[in-house]
Amino acid sequence: MAQQKQNHQPPFPQGLIFDCDGTLADTMPLHWRAWQAVAERYNLALTEQRFYALGGVPARDIVKLLLAERGLALDHLAIAGEKEAAYLPLIAQVEPINAVVGVARESYGRIPLAVASGGTRKAIEQVLNRLGIRHLFQTVVTSEDVVRQKPAPDIFLEAARRIGVPPQFCRAYEDTDLGMKAIRAAGMEAVDVRTLLVKREAAGVGRAA
């Protein structure tokens, strides 16, 4: 009797990719504090609601947008540098989002992990080191590594390339609408961290608990 052929499906996922700010690390309130100081200094129209809506967009691009709206001919890179300078000292206050960090810890050593962040390399590396999780990730891709930023898929595609996993076999974690669009555009499974956190809070588990 002929043996039935078995359909061997590859395990899924084969790689995990994480945003950093607001996904692995509870940094967004600290970023907002830094942005408030810069926006007030240059009279830029940035509300807290709009700041969160722009999550994942590099600071230099946000400044460029805000300056254009005001018709101001200022150096957007220099102002973005001021925002970064205001934020970096706050990294000492960063706490992990353990609902997501736990996923990374559990998967470490089993499948390759990467970070794909719209932040700067200097800031993201400092945050990951502050949380003691830098070693979990095979690679860290930041805004300096790609031309097109979220919601374009480039940063996630680059992360997948670096860990050697086809995009369709990757699962990625994000906390913003722009980030979720980028993941889906890359052809990956998208996990909305906001939904994950709501479920944990409903179960009585804190954000950084």
**Which residues are marked as active site?**
19
Residue 14, SS3 per DSSP = coil
For residues 73 and 166, what is the distance between their CA atoms, to the nearest angstrom? Answer: 43
Report the amino acid identity of residue 169: F
Among 142, 22, 42, residue whose Cα is nearest residue 94: 22
Running DSSP on this structure, what letter comes out for residue 5?
Answer: P
172, β-bridge pairs: 17, 190
Reported as type and span, the H/E element at residue 29 is helix 28-42
Which residue pairs from 72-75 have beta carbons closer than 8 angstroms and sit at least 24 positions apart in sequence? 72/42, 74/42
Q: Which residues contact 2 (CB under 8 A, 6 or more apart)?
A: none
| 8 A C-beta contact, residue 179 and residue 159 | no
Radius of gyration of the chain from its Cα atoms, rounded to whole angstroms: 19
For residues 161 and 114, what is the distance between their CA atoms, to the nearest angstrom? Answer: 10
